[in-house]
Amino acid sequence: MNVMMNETTRTARSGLAEELRISVARLSRRLRAQVGSDLSVTQFSALAVLERHGEMTPSELAEHEHVKPPSMTRTVAALEAARLVARRPHATDRRQVVLAVTEPGRALLGEHRRRKEAWLAMRLAELTEEERAALERAVPILERLSRS
């Protein structure tokens, strides 16, 4: 259409923020609907983060997930009730609590990952290799957008 602009040289179009916002919101809603698991997306995300980062306090976890501490309290309570996360007292500060993924939690994590990837993986498989490569490049950028 426009010979002066191509994909690699144009700057951010004014619509990019809006398009990204809407497509992310929609895909998120779609994904949530596909979770055929006994763990919610929020719980799974918290559990996965805890596994990746090792031991964390509830506040650290809340900050990482960009959620307020009371919300994380509820998420952690659910995970703890399911024996997927264990809490132990902090070594020196008795106000704090240290969370860690239990062995059953780790096992369930792998199992759930495989199950819950099914829907998305099926759809990813329908894409061309170039499209998947484009998503691979986008994922770390999306991660960075939600930090900062």
Q: List residues near a second copy by CB under 8 A.
A: 7-14, 16-33, 41-42, 45, 48, 65-67, 113, 116-117, 120-121, 123-127, 129-139, 141-146, 148
37 with 78: CB under 8 angstroms?
A: no
The answer to whether residue 87 forms part of the interface with DNA (CB under 7 A) is: yes
Q: CB-wise, 10 or 26, nearer to DNA? A: 26
89 with 97: CB under 8 angstroms?
A: yes
Q: CB-wise, 57 or 105, nearer to DNA? A: 57
Write out the chain in H/E/C secondary structure: CCCCCCCCCCCCCCCHHHHHHHHHHHHHHHHHHHCCCCCCHHHHHHHHHHHHHCCECHHHHHHHCCCCHHHHHHHHHHHHHCCCEEEEECCCCCCCEEEEECHHHHHHHHHHHHHHHHHHHHHHHCCCHHHHHHHHHHHHHHHHHHCC
Residues 6-35 that bind DNA (CB under 7 A): 29, 33
- Can you tell me which of 48, 49, 51, 59 binds DNA, judged by CB under 7 A? 59
Choose one: 91-99, 107-115, 116-124, 127-135; the region binding DNA (CB under 7 A): 91-99
Minimum CB separation from a second copy for residue 88, in Å?
A: 26
Residue 2 binding partner per list a second copy, DNA, none, with a CB distance cut-off of 5 to 8 Å that depends on partner kind: none
Choose one: 4-12, 16-24, 68-76, 115-123; the region binding DNA (CB under 7 A): 68-76
